[in-house]
Amino acid sequence: MEENVTLNQPYPSVKVTTEEELGEAVKNNVESIEITGDLVGKTLKIKATGKVAWAVALGSLGVAVTCLILRAKGSDVVENTQTGKAITFTGAAGGTAVAATILGKAAFAAASIAAAAGGVGALTTLRDKYVIKEHSKGKLILEHK
């Protein structure tokens, strides 16, 4: 028997190994996300950062992600001028550097997750709307609240 699938319905479960896949899963409100590999530790760091430190990191990541998204979309200002290229590079590097002082290596993962999902709101969703169901060496399962 075939199961009818409606577009724009959340996926019940996915397995991810990259920041981009995790960003897409969060963006799509996947019910259960199984994370494996190096991404496990980075995701745990994002979820474990305190609220005040997270607020600072999120602000910095917002600058970085905005610059990355503009660059990826081929913004006329970014692509056609040296100044645009310099601003987006400096913004992305500076924002990620500030976040790295708080999150360490997880800052780069966080920026990639947010860029794949279309903005830093995905990081807040990841932190606040997903709970850890299972954690073992090399594997992390998150469930949507």
C-alpha–C-alpha distance, residues 130 and 10, integer Å? 14
CB 107 within 8 A of CB 100: yes
Q: What is the mean pLDDT of the chain?
A: 75
Report the pLDDT value the prediction gives residue 67, as an integer from 0 to 100.
Answer: 56
Amino acid at 105: K
Average pLDDT score over residue span 68-72: 52
Average pLDDT score over residue span 130-145: 94
Instruction: Report the range out of 21-30, 108-117, 119-128 with the highest average pLDDT.
Output: 21-30
Q: What percent of the chain has pLDDT over 70?
A: 63
Residue 24 lies inside a defined structural domain of this protein: yes
* Number of separate domains in the chain: 1
Residue 4 lies inside a defined structural domain of this protein: no
Residue 115 lies inside a defined structural domain of this protein: yes
CB 47 within 8 A of CB 134: no
More confident residue, 94 or 108: 108
Residue 1 scores a pLDDT above 90: no
pTM of the model: 0.69
Domain coverage including residue 107: 16-144
Those residues whose C-beta lies under 8 Å from the C-beta of residue 6, and which sit 6 or more positions away, are: none
Structure tokens at 51: 């609220």
Residue 7 lies inside a defined structural domain of this protein: no
